[in-house]
């Protein structure tokens, strides 16, 4: 979703602004813009479409100022048209603002400003902000005071960056519930809605906290508490950011690249942690809370979307291997739920981006509760990584396609490592450790055989609906498989526990409603096969994912995908790949925009 950049320094601002916006493209957006101080005025260039178009447009009349702001917009209030793209300005074009988040009381503010004679040109909530600052400036003649006064009125969530003709050497920033980072380099200060755009210039970063604003200029940065107006001292921290790999390395798109990176992702998540010789799992990120972990008798996993489904796999793993009761909740529900949590409960958030608004809000709800908070996060230095007491990074590297694939695999790997780490007496402990070590090679075999999955996906791509079923460890895979198919191919898909079929979904089945069934070896696989039989009896077509080509499941299915046999606890890691590839090839056959499916954003930074 929306991305923000800002620059103050001795170089031309637009170089950082445009490069930075490109780095933030992964978040998903529909329009982009920059504004810079040019002499004693501010000039903005905005486009609907990609940063590449913004570059072209800017090239016609290059920006040369050395103070500026930029934005990629994912529309919430107002359609995708140039007038709604950021930066937004007040009616006299003296204050320009970029904003990430939602101003919940914008209508109230707008009516007030209209009554004072202010006028508006866009349909956005953001436009009230520069006008409100202008209003306060007209009363105080002081930019800092005007900015502060405006912020005090705003309700909702924001990361804001502002430039003004009244203080042309400064950049103003503020944060409430949406992340904002300031990079401190030689002779320049860089702003980003995360640390990724900043990383190309410096790794010394300061993160604003909620309720803080800062003034940036050639002399440095000054942080202030918005409410008390007191200044806050905060030194920079050195952030390790994995170099974003911009290249497709010969792949057609990021989704196929990232699916193919899944085995490397598992290796990377295990590196230095899985000690096969010593039969040990070492998790440095949990060392600090090792003592507290001994008293934990329940874990609540909180996440959204694919990360939530990884959490459901984690539930099975932690309960079976570590013997700890686990409950998994969607962050959007957890945040608004009234639920008693005992001090012996730990809350574990799972997030690829570390910036998902609902997951952040869920953690915030626990402030001051004394509950131990843990994280399985991919993006180092992200908000969630910083908010949790301890955690284990996924180390999957940047994920750019909107549809999460390699991150899911890495999250499940980390769950498995944590479960093994916390287990004391699990009977198959050594067996799983040995198998994990060789798992990436087996995953590579599935990827090598992707042509067969491609043919199947193409064969079924004209279906309007799809059902995904599985039991136990394959149940979250069914949910995740259905999500992946719907989000990138737009084919309607539902995931169900196979045992639930007779409780409703079976009514959907006919010859036009195919089923993607996980029928992998386990002591309950015969039960799934019975469910498949019930589907066949009603004329439904079945694609089964099997690990034995002579199994009853393979015989019963219309088509099957064969994957290597592994212990049931490892099946989600290898079993996710056929679902990812199936969705990918179906979407490709249908000519979808694979990496940027309609209506979706990579990083969901608003509620
Ligand atoms: C689906 C997908 C989303 C994310 C969800 C949570 O392919 O990518 O469902 O999993 O938005 O995002 P993170 O993991 O960044 O918190």
Tell me the pLDDT tens digit for each residue of 98-126.
999 889 999 999 999 999 999 999 999 99
Distances, alpha carbon 210 to alpha carbons 180, 213, 239, 443, in Å: 9, 9, 20, 43
pLDDT band at residue 178 using 50, 70 and 90 as cut-offs: confident
Q: Are residues 436 and 464 in the same domain?
A: no
Count other Cβ atoms within 10 Å, centred on residue 428.
16
What mean pLDDT comes out for the span 427-441? 95
Q: Tens of pLDDT along 289-337?
A: 999 999 999 999 999 999 999 999 999 999 999 999 999 999 999 999 9
Q: Are residues 72 and 210 in the same domain?
A: yes
Q: Are residues 96 and 214 in the same domain?
A: yes
Q: What are phi and psi of 494, to 5 degrees?
A: -130, 140
Is the CB of residue 353 below 6 angstroms from any atom belonging to ligand 1? yes
User: Is the pLDDT assigned to residue 245 strictly greater than 70?
Assistant: no
For ligand 1, the distance from its centroid to the CA atom of residue 139, given in whole angstroms, is 45
Q: Tens of pLDDT along 443-477?
A: 999 999 899 999 999 999 999 999 999 999 999 99
Instruction: Average the pLDDT over each of 340-344, 470-474, 602-606 and give the range with the smallest value.
Output: 602-606
Q: Are residues 256 and 269 in the same domain?
A: yes
Range of the domain at 41: 3-238
Picking from 171, 206, 238, the residue at the C-terminal end of a domain is: 238
Q: Are residues 568 and 477 in the same domain?
A: yes
What mean pLDDT comes out for the span 523-534? 96
Residue 190 within any structural domain of the chain:
yes
User: Is the pLDDT assigned to residue 384 strictly greater than 70?
Assistant: yes
Q: Is 384 in contact with 355 (CB distance < 8 Å)?
A: yes
Tell me, what CATH number does 340's domain have?
Answer: 3.40.50.10490
pLDDT band at residue 542 using 50, 70 and 90 as cut-offs: very high
Q: What is the DSSP letter of 24?
A: G
pLDDT band at residue 243 using 50, 70 and 90 as cut-offs: low
For ligand 1, the distance from its centroid to the CA atom of residue 187, given in whole angstroms, is 37
| Active site members | 2, 602
| Nearest partner of 87 among 64, 112, 106, 68, judged by Cα | 68
Q: Are residues 45 and 178 in the same domain?
A: yes
Is the CB of residue 332 below 6 angstroms from any atom belonging to ligand 1? no
What pLDDT, on a 0 to 100 scale, did the predictor assign at position 1? 72
Is the CB of residue 569 below 6 angstroms from any atom belonging to ligand 1? no
Q: Is 76 in contact with 599 (CB distance < 8 Å)?
A: no
Picking from 396, 431, 446, the residue at the C-terminal end of a domain is: 446
pLDDT band at residue 78 using 50, 70 and 90 as cut-offs: confident
Taking the CA of residue 353 as reference, the ligand 1 atom at the shortest distance is 15
Taking the CA of residue 379 as reference, the ligand 1 atom at the shortest distance is 15
Measured distance CA(445)–CA(438) in Å, rounded: 12
Q: What is the DSSP letter of 322?
A: I
Helix, coil or strand: residue 471: coil
For ligand 1, the distance from its centroid to the CA atom of residue 384, given in whole angstroms, is 14
What mean pLDDT comes out for the span 212-218? 96
Residue 604 within any structural domain of the chain:
no
For ligand 1, the distance from its centroid to the CA atom of residue 302, given in whole angstroms, is 12
Q: Are residues 319 and 340 in the same domain?
A: yes
Residue 605 within any structural domain of the chain:
no
Instruction: Average the pLDDT over each of 233-242, 260-269, 481-490, 543-552 and give the range with the smallest value.
Output: 233-242
For ligand 1, the distance from its centroid to the CA atom of residue 264, given in whole angstroms, is 20
Q: What's the mean per-residue pLDDT of the chain?
A: 94
Is the CB of residue 359 below 6 angstroms from any atom belonging to ligand 1? yes
Instruction: Report which secondary-structure segment, H or E, holds 158.
Output: strand 156-164
pLDDT band at residue 601 using 50, 70 and 90 as cut-offs: confident
Nearest-CA residue for ligand 1 atom 11 is 305
Pocket test for ligand 1, best of 335, 404, 408 (most atoms within 8 A of CB): 404
What pLDDT, on a 0 to 100 scale, did the predictor assign at position 222? 97
Tell me, what CATH number does 199's domain have?
Answer: 3.60.20.10
Q: Are residues 395 and 466 in the same domain?
A: no
Helix, coil or strand: residue 261: coil
Q: What angle do CA 406, 322, 443 make, to 5 degrees?
A: 30
Q: CA end-to-end span of the chain, whole Å?
A: 11
Nearest-CA residue for ligand 1 atom 9 is 305
Residue 495 within any structural domain of the chain:
yes
Q: Tens of pLDDT along 248-296?
A: 878 999 999 999 999 999 999 998 899 999 999 999 899 999 999 999 9
Residue 602 within any structural domain of the chain:
no
- As a three-state string, the secondary structure of 201-254 is CCCEEEECCCCEEEEEECCEEEEEECCCCCEECCCCEECCCCCCCCCCCCCCCH
Nearest-CA residue for ligand 1 atom 16 is 351
Is the CB of residue 405 below 6 angstroms from any atom belonging to ligand 1? no
pLDDT band at residue 44 using 50, 70 and 90 as cut-offs: very high
Distances, alpha carbon 177 to alpha carbons 76, 259, 312, 384, 607, in Å: 17, 32, 27, 12, 10
What pLDDT, on a 0 to 100 scale, did the predictor assign at position 242? 56
pLDDT band at residue 246 using 50, 70 and 90 as cut-offs: low
Measured distance CA(6)–CA(11) in Å, rounded: 13
Helix, coil or strand: residue 431: helix
**Burial label, 219 (beta-carbon count in 10 A; 0-12, 13-18, 19+):** exposed
Residue 205 within any structural domain of the chain:
yes
Residue 607 within any structural domain of the chain:
no
Helix, coil or strand: residue 372: strand
Residue 420 within any structural domain of the chain:
yes
Q: Are residues 69 and 181 in the same domain?
A: yes
If one counts the domains in the chain, the total is 3
| High-pLDDT (> 90) share of the chain, % | 86
Q: Are residues 123 and 209 in the same domain?
A: yes
């Amino acid at each position: 979703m929306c991305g923000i950049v800002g620059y103050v320094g001795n170089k031309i601002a637009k170089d950082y602004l445009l490069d930075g916006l490109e780095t933030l493209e992964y978040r998903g957006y529909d329009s982009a813009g920059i504004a810079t101080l040019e002499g004693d005025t501010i000039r903005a260039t905005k486009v609907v479409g990609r940063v590449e178009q913004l570059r072209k447009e800017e090239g016609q009349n290059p920006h040369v100022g050395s103070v500026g702001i930029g934005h990629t917009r994912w529309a919430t209030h107002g359609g995708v048209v140039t007038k709604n793209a950021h930066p937004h300005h007040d009616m006299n074009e003296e204050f320009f603002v970029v904003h990430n988040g939602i101003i919940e009381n914008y209508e109230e503010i707008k009516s007030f400003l209209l009554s004072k004679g202010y006028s508006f040109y866009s349909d956005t909530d953001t436009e009230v902000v520069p006008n409100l600052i202008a209003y306060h400036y007209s009363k105080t003649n002081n930019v800092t005071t005007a900015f502060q006064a405006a912020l005090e009125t705003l309700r909702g969530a924001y990361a804001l960056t502002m430039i003004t003709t009244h203080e042309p050497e400064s950049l103003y920033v503020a944060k409430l519930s949406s992340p904002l980072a300031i990079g401190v380099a030689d002779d320049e200060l860089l702003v980003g809605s995360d640390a990724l755009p900043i990383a190309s210039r410096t790794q010394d970063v300061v993160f604003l906290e909620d309720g803080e604003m800062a003034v940036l200029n050639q002399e440095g940065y000054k942080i202030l508490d918005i409410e008390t107006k007191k200044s806050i001292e905060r030194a920079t921290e050195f952030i390790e950011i994995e170099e974003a790999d911009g290249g497709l390395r010969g792949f057609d798109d990021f989704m196929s690249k990232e699916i193919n990176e899944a085995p490397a992702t598992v290796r990377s998540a295990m590196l230095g942690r899985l000690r096969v010789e010593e039969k040990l799992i070492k998790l440095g990120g949990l060392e600090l809370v090792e003592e507290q972990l001994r008293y934990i008798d329940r874990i609540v996993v909180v996440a959204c979307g694919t990360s939530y489904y990884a959490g459901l796999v984690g539930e099975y793993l932690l309960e079976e291997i570590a013997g700890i009761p686990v409950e998994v909740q969607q962050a959007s529900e957890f945040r608004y739920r009234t639920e008693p949590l005992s001090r012996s409960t730990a809350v574990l958030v799972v997030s690829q981006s570390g910036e998902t608004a609902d997951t952040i809000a869920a953690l915030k709800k626990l402030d001051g509760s004394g509950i131990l908070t843990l994280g399985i996060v991919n993006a180092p230095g992200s908000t969630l990584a910083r908010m949790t007491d301890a955690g284990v990074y996924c180390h999957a590297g940047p994920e750019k396609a909107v549809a999460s694939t390699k991150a899911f695999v890495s999250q499940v790997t980390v769950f498995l490592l944590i479960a093994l780490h916390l287990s004391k007496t699990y009977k198959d402990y050594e067996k799983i450790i040995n198998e994990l070590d060789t798992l990436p090679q087996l995953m590579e075999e599935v990827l090598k055989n992707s042509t067969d999955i491609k043919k199947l996906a193409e064969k079924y791509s004209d279906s309007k609906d799809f059902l995904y079923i599985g039991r136990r460890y394959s149940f979250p895979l069914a949910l995740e498989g259905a999500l992946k198919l719907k989000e990138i191919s737009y084919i309607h898909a539902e995931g169900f526990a196979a045992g639930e079929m007779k409780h409703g979904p079976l009514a959907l089945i006919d010859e036009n409603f195919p089923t993607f069934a996980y029928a992998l070896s386990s002591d309950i696989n015969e039960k799934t096969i019975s469910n498949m039989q019930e589907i066949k009896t009603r004329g439904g077509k079945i694609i089964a994912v099997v690990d034995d080509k002579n199994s009853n499941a393979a015989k019963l299915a219309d088509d099957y995908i064969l994957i290597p046999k592994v212990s049931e606890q490892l099946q989600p890691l290898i079993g996710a790949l056929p679902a990812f590839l199936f969705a990918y090839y179906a979407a490709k056959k249908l000519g979808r925009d694979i990496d940027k499916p309609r209506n979706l954003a990579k990083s969901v930074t608003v509620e």
